[in-house]
Structure 1
Amino acid sequence: MRVNVLYFGTLKDLFASQRDPIELPDGATVDLLLSLLRAKTSKQSDVWRTLAVAVNQEYASLSTTLREGDEVALLPPVSGGAQNRWGA
């Protein structure tokens, strides 16, 4: 089956892409997808430990089973913005 993976934040840089179609075996889970993607990167990154995942625009757990055509968004944490000039 094929799912469409959307990369956000630092993952766009890590994969040099905004999206990729990924082939997976039937019954694959989010956990399997993340394992395969981690193996494709030469850099080790802490982003994998704090990553949020959404499947079809709903947050998903590692045990979520993926289906043909699912859209999987990988959402690394974001840090806060700059302080304004008043310190708030």
Structure 2
Amino acid sequence: MKIRIRYFASLREVTGQNEETLTVPEGSTIANIRTLLLDHYPPLRPILERCLCAVNRAYVQPETELHEGDELVFIPPMGGGQPRRKHV
């Protein structure tokens, strides 16, 4: 079956692409895809360990089984902003 993976932020930087289509066995789970991605892109390990995941725009657990045509997104942790300043 074919699934589409979209990459954002640091995942895009590591993979060098916005998205890709993978052909994976029926019954594959998000955890299986994580393992596959780590084989192809080892530098993703520290990022993927902290990512949330979504299938077809809904947050799901890593044990979720994927289906033909699903869109998988790993959502990297976000940071930023400035610390609050104390008013004196």
TM-score (norm 2): 0.88
Q: Distance in 2 between matches of 1:9 and 1:44?
A: 12
How much is the aligned-residue C-alpha RMSD, in angstroms? 1.6
Residue of structure 1 equivalent to 2:23: 23
Query: Which stretch of the first structure deviates more once superposed, 69-78 or 40-49?
Result: 40-49
Q: After TM superposition, give the deviation of residue 42 of structure 1 in Å.
A: 4.0
TM-score (norm 1): 0.88
1:2-81 correspondence to structure 2 within 5 Å: 2-43=2-43, 45-81=45-81
Q: Aligned with 2:63: secondary structure?
A: coil
Unaligned regions of 5+ residues in structure 2, if any?
none
Q: After TM superposition, give the deviation of residue 80 of structure 1 in Å.
A: 2.2
Q: After TM superposition, give the deviation of residue 87 of structure 1 in Å.
A: 2.6
CA 26–47 in structure 1, closer or farther in 2 if over 3 Å, else same: same
Q: Which runs of 4+ in 1 moved over 3 A?
A: none
Residue of structure 2 equivalent to 1:87: 85
Q: Aligned with 1:87: secondary structure?
A: coil
Q: Aligned with 1:43: secondary structure?
A: helix
* Higher share of residues assigned helix: 2
Unaligned regions of 5+ residues in structure 1, if any?
none
Q: Among all aligned residue pairs of Structure 1 and Structure 2, give the percentage whose two residues are the same amino acid.
A: 27
